[in-house]
Every structure is written in C-alpha cells, then in structure tokens.
Amino acid sequence: MEEETSTSSSSDDQTFDTGSWIIAQDLLKRRLILEDNFTWKIPTSTTKSSSQVSVKENDDNNTELIRYVGGVDLSFSKDDPSIACASIVVLDLLQINNGGFEVVSEDYKIVHLQIPYIPGFLAFREAPVLLELLEKMKRECSPFYPQCLMVDGNGLLHPRGFGLACHLGVTADIPTIGIGKNLHHVDGLTQSGVREFLEAEENRSKDLITLTGCSGHIWGAALRSTKDSLKPIYVSIGHRISLDSAIELVRFTCKYRVPEPVRQADIRSRNFVQKNQVFS
C-alpha cells in the first residue's frame, strides 16, 4: 500500500522511536544507487505484440531481455487495519497470453502488523513481511526470482527521499521502482498542481511530466500510462535503476493505469483474502 499524502501524525506516533527510524533510513540511503545497475535490457513495444519471443535481443551485444518482473502489495482487513495479506506476484514479460503477461509465480502471507501507519515511515510497517516473501523465493531457489520489483509505494518521491521502494531495493539488493497513485507533497510539489498542469489545454497531449521541486531536484515523474488514463501515476526511482529506465519499464508493463505487476499483486491478494476468508 502506498503512503498517503497527509503529513499529520497518528496518535500512536509517541509510542515509536521515529528518531531511530530516521537514522536507519539515512544509513540505508548511503547505499542507494540511482542509475542503471543491471545487465538486462527492457523489451520494446514490438516485443510486446508477440506471444513469445527470444530471451536474447538481436543486437551487437546480444543483451538479455528482462524477463521476470515482480509486484508487491498489501491488502488490509476492513475491520482491523493491523491484519494484512502481503503478496508478491511475478510476471513473465516474454510470455503473452490473451493480451496480458503470464503470471509465473505468486505467494501470500497473512500478518498481524505491530506498527501502525505513520506518515513517512511506511517501510517500517510493510517492508519486513515483503522482504520475507522475497527471501523465501531466494531460499527456495525459485527460477522466477524477480529481476526488478515494482512496489505499491514511493521511492525517492518521499519527504526524506527514501520511501518503501528504496528501502526494499537497498535491503534486498534488487532493482526497484516506486509506483504511487497519490503524490507526496514534497519540495513544493502538490498533487493538485500536477493535475492542473496536465489538464491544461496546451498539455492535454502530454502523457509525462518530470517532477522537479522548488530546489531543482528531480523527484520522479507523473505518467498518464494509457490514453484513457485521466489521473497520472507517480513513478520514482527505488534502487539500481535510472528514472528513464523506470519509466520505460513501467510503460511497457501498463495495460491499464497501474503497471501489471502491481495491479496483479493487488487483485490477487484481494482474491486470496476473499477465497480463504482470512479476515473473517
């Protein structure tokens, strides 16, 4: 679940040492890599139109195409927000079935969260169980361990420049991309301001704007991922990938507004909850 845009603190803030969390974030942030740090290549739209393609791209370097992209999300009990279903879903970008990417791996874990939602500290609430799911895949030597992870939450687009996607990426040492449905109010950027800009007559044809704050720092990008999308999604670097590559991969995986790895993680976790009646 992505972080909300509110900057107010919950009544439970006083019982948690957020100061130590800030120190932990700062220490992890030192290991953050904001450029491409991988050996694969992102498929093209031509690749997407084929039902099955070679893992190797026909170029001079014979570069391997990225194949397995994961999405992570948490679904919460309506009656008790401390009970959640964490999910990780992996899609094969080189296998297209019925116009969509094939889901090759999915796993879920029901958890009772001990930490409430505190703005700016979502990672300390949600990262542990998501890291468990990733570690389980690695421990079991899953052939579908994701080469990149899309996170329902922000990366650099965060008050301290280190959101859930960054936290997961650095801790698991995996390329990650933050996917936000709402915009953090940071460095002069506001959700209403971005939407007004995109809705202006002269910008109606634009599907992407760079989110540059008052300081001149680039925090991410607002992307209208499909031609029918009225509201943008907010893409930001998590770890080991540049913003340009993150946008390219998000575009490639979008069938609807939200990229398929995150969308499938959300849909399937909700279905898992309903099927197993875990919150009843």
Helix (H, G, I), strand (E, B) or coil at 20: helix
DSSP state letter for 99: T
CA dihedral 165, 169, 174, 180 (to 10 degrees): 10
Predicted local distance difference test score (pLDDT) of residue 187: 97
* Residue reference for tokens 């919950």: 10
What is the architecture, at CATH level 2, of domain 13-36+67-276?
2-Layer Sandwich (3.30)
Distance from the Cα of residue 241 to its chain's centroid: 12
pLDDT of residue 12: 46
**Tokens found for residue 16:** 């948690």
Which ranges of the chain would DSSP assign to H, the alpha helix? 18-29, 45-48, 122-139, 164-172, 191-199, 243-253, 260-276
pLDDT, one tens digit per residue, over 156-197 is: 999 999 999 999 999 999 999 999 999 989 999 999 998 888
Q: Strands, DSSP E only, in 154-227?
A: 176-180, 208-212, 218-223
Query: If you compute the radius of gyration of the chain from its CA atoms, what whole number of angstroms results?
Result: 18
What's the gap between Cα 76 and its chain centre?
18
> Rounded to two decimals, what is the model's pTM?
0.91
Nearest Cα to Cα of residue 168 among 146, 144, 139, 141: 146
CA distances from 144 to 6, 67, 91, 176, 255 (A): 36, 9, 9, 16, 22
**261-273 CB burial, b ≥16 within 10 A, e <16:** bbbbbbbbbeebb
Taking the alpha carbons at both ends of the chain, their separation in whole angstroms is 21
Structure tokens at 150: 């899309």
Encode pLDDT of 73-109 as tens digits: 999 988 888 999 999 999 999 998 888 999 999 999 9
Task: Identify the pLDDT of residue 279.
Answer: 66
3-state secondary structure of 33: coil
Pairing of strands 148-152, 68-76: parallel
**Ordered mean pLDDT values, 10 residues apiece, the chain (280 residues):** 45 72 98 98 74 53 89 92 95 91 97 93 97 98 98 97 98 99 92 88 88 97 86 97 98 96 97 78
Q: Would you call 247 helix, strand, or coil by DSSP?
A: helix
CA distance 225 to 244: 14
Residue type, 172: A
